[in-house]
């Protein structure tokens, strides 16, 4: 009989680790101390029901998942129920408690790796169809809250879902204590080992979570379920689109084709996220378009971080463009939507050099003569630091 078979039976008492903080919590809580084991199992079982309810709502089938990552797994309060639903070979667990990870690997036959408090210190080994994070964002300080959100989102497979829980305002004794930013970190926790610098009790508003999700993942919150977990933690779901949903490489977007190298462009600047190239019907010589490599239709859809990055690139390349065409001034243009004059539905900034007496005629649409675009580009590039 292997561990998986063993786990099918209800003989799970022996599998509770003596250092399991969640179990120890139930041994001391006035409402559960008489039957802590039952409370411990019920609590994991109710996580299972909540998760199945969420999948139901988003039309996701657990059986369709090839990989499940349970992050901040502890000593397996939930894992012991999860292994009854999907094969342990598809499950990966991780926690800062190394002993807990070792215990789960041995006890349930799941894969596991050690975590750290700082996401920068952790390499997540695979991509997962489901990432489930119960009761971690309800404990993280501000310095790691968003970085963990970003890191976990990045560890999703295409079409994968990240599900995490938080303490909302309704969990607060005094909701009026909430900060304007919608984030409150209180120095209290059930953990006897983690320092308050890394782990305590965190309350967040729904607005805070939505903003963080949009800015860190570029995606909207797919589903928000207030008080879904244990009837008090709010749950949020974020889905990572398929790659071909992110970058449309079809005929509908000419700039995506430029990014994909399907049609040529005079590239002024390029990095992993941003491309700048000469406009083919320039307002003036040196007219450059700056675009994110991901297809966003307009500025309002663009994640904050990318907006900052693009503006800083514009600041960096504009002096070279101006020097290249010997102009002093420039317009920075950004059309958002058809009525504003946006023709190409892929967000783009126009950097338009201006010359003395050029008539300030924004869209007169000149064209480059033979070899002129190459020459302009060469001169711009000469002026890069
Ligand atoms: P907008 O009106 O703000 O959408 O601007 C679209 C700009 O894209 C116009 O200035 C066009 O000249 C420019 N454009 C369209 N196709 C290309 C292309 N293949 N290469 C460079 N610029 C282009
Ligand atoms: Zn596009």
The sign of the torsion formed by the CA atoms of 193, 132, 181, 174 equals negative
How far apart are the C-alpha atoms of 379 and 356, rounded to whole Å?
20
Asked whether residue 253 falls in the same domain as residue 239, the answer is no
Asked whether residue 279 falls in the same domain as residue 376, the answer is yes
Out of 17, 139, 287, 348, the active site residue is: 348
Question: Any idea what the CATH number is for the domain that residue 203 is in?
Answer: 3.40.50.150
Query: Does the beta carbon of 265 sit less than 6 angstroms from any atom of ligand 1?
Result: yes
Ligand 1 nearest atom to the CA of residue 281, by list position: 12
The protein residue whose alpha carbon is closest to atom 12 in ligand 1 is 281
Query: Does the beta carbon of 290 sit less than 6 angstroms from any atom of ligand 1?
Result: no
Query: Does the beta carbon of 279 sit less than 6 angstroms from any atom of ligand 1?
Result: yes
Ligand 1 nearest atom to the CA of residue 265, by list position: 20
Asked whether residue 182 falls in the same domain as residue 325, the answer is no
Q: What is the largest CA-CA distance in the chain?
A: 87
Full residue range of the structural domain in which residue 298 is found:
247-382
Asked if residues 76 and 15 have their Cβ atoms less than 8 Å apart, the reply is: yes
Q: Which of 209, 244, 279 is the last residue of a domain?
A: 244
| Of the candidates 10, 40, 11, 44, the residue with the CA atom closest to the CA atom of residue 24 | 40
Residue 192 backbone phi and psi in degrees, to 5: -100, -5
pTM (2 d.p.)? 0.61
Q: Would you call 194 a catalytic residue per the annotation?
A: no
Residue 77: the pLDDT is 95
Q: Which of 191, 219, 244 is the last residue of a domain?
A: 244
Alpha carbon distances (Å) from 38 to 13, 26, 49, 82, 303: 10, 9, 16, 17, 45
- Please count the residues of the chain: 385
Instruction: Give the count of domains, the chain.
Output: 2
Residue 382: the pLDDT is 87
| Averages of pLDDT over each 10 residues, the chain, 385 residues | 38 73 91 92 94 90 90 95 94 97 95 96 95 96 97 94 96 93 89 84 96 93 95 95 58 86 92 94 94 92 91 97 96 92 93 87 74 92 80
In the chain, alpha helices (H): 3-8, 21-28, 36-58, 79-85, 98-108, 142-154, 206-217, 243-246, 254-259, 304-325, 372-382
Asked whether residue 105 falls in the same domain as residue 210, the answer is yes
Ligand 1 nearest atom to the CA of residue 263, by list position: 19
Query: Does the beta carbon of 343 sit less than 6 angstroms from any atom of ligand 1?
Result: yes
Asked whether residue 187 falls in the same domain as residue 255, the answer is no
Ligand 1 nearest atom to the CA of residue 348, by list position: 3
The protein residue whose alpha carbon is closest to atom 22 in ligand 1 is 279
Residue 63 backbone phi and psi in degrees, to 5: -65, -25
Asked whether residue 87 falls in the same domain as residue 192, the answer is yes
How far apart are the C-alpha atoms of 273 and 373, rounded to whole Å?
24
Question: Any idea what the CATH number is for the domain that residue 352 is in?
Answer: 3.30.428.10
Asked whether residue 99 falls in the same domain as residue 224, the answer is yes
Asked whether residue 264 falls in the same domain as residue 186, the answer is no
Asked whether residue 265 falls in the same domain as residue 349, the answer is yes
What lies within 8 Å, CB to CB, of 225 at 6+ separation is: 53, 54, 57, 234, 235, 236, 237
Mutate to test the pocket of ligand 1, among 280, 285, 349 (most ligand atoms within 8 A of CB): 280
The DSSP annotation for 210-244 comes to HHHHHHHHSS--SEEEEEEETTTEEEEEEEPPPHH
How far apart are the C-alpha atoms of 78 and 161, rounded to whole Å?
18
What lies within 8 Å, CB to CB, of 260 at 6+ separation is: 247, 249
Residue 360: the pLDDT is 67
Query: Does the beta carbon of 157 sit less than 6 angstroms from any atom of ligand 1?
Result: no
Residue 245: the pLDDT is 52
Give the angle 297-303-309 at the CA atoms, nearest 5°.
105
Residue 103, both tokens: 């215990």
Residue 364: the pLDDT is 59
Task: Tell me which DSSP letter residue 144 carries.
Answer: H
Query: Does the beta carbon of 281 sit less than 6 angstroms from any atom of ligand 1?
Result: yes
Asked whether residue 326 falls in the same domain as residue 373, the answer is yes
Asked whether residue 221 falls in the same domain as residue 260, the answer is no
Asked whether residue 347 falls in the same domain as residue 302, the answer is yes
Q: Which of 223, 244, 265 is the last residue of a domain?
A: 244
Residue holding tokens 């963990």?
Answer: 148
């Amino acid at each position: 009989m292997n561990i998986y078979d063993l786990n099918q039976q209800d003989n799970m008492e022996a599998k509770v680790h003596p250092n399991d903080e969640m179990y120890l919590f139930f041994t001391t809580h006035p409402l559960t101390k008489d039957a802590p084991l039952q409370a411990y199992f019920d609590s994991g079982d109710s996580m299972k029901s909540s998760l199945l309810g969420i999948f139901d709502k988003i039309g996701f089938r657990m059986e369709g998942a090839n990989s499940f990552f349970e992050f901040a797994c502890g000593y397996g309060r939930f894992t012991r129920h999860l292994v009854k639903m999907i094969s342990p070979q598809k499950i990966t667990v991780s926690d800062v408690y190394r002993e807990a990870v070792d215990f789960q690997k041995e006890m349930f036959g799941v894969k596991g790796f050690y975590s750290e408090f700082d996401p920068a210190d952790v390499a997540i080994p695979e991509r997962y169809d489901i990432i489930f994070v119960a009761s971690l964002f309800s404990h993280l300080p501000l310095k790691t809250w968003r970085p963990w959100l970003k890191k976990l989102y990045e560890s999703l497979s295409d079409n994968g879902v990240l599900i995490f829980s938080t303490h909302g305002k309704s969990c607060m004794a005094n909701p009026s204590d909430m900060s304007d930013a919608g984030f409150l970190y209180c120095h209290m926790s059930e953990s006897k080992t983690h320092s308050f610098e890394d782990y305590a009790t965190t309350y967040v508003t729904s607005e805070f979570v939505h903003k963080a999700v949009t800015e860190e993942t570029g995606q909207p919150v797919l589903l928000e379920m207030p008080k879904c977990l244990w009837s008090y933690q709010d749950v949020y779901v974020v889905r990572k689109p398929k790659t071909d949903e992110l970058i449309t490489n079809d005929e509908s977007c000419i700039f995506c084709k430029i990014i994909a190298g399907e049609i040529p462009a005079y590239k002024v600047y390029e990095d992993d996220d941003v491309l700048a190239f000469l406009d083919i019907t320039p307002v003036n010589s040196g007219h450059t378009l700056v675009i994110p490599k991901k297809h966003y239709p307009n500025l309002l859809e663009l994640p904050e971080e990318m907006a900052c990055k693009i503006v800083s690139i514009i600041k960096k390349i504009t002096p070279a463009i101006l020097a290249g065409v010997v102009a002093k001034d420039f317009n920075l243009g950004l059309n958002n939507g058809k009525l504003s004059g946006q023709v190409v539905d892929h967000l783009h900034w126009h950097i338009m050099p201006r010359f003395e007496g050029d008539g300030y005629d924004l869209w007169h649409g000149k064209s480059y003569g033979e070899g002129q675009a190459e020459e302009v580009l060469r001169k711009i590039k000469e002026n890069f630091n």
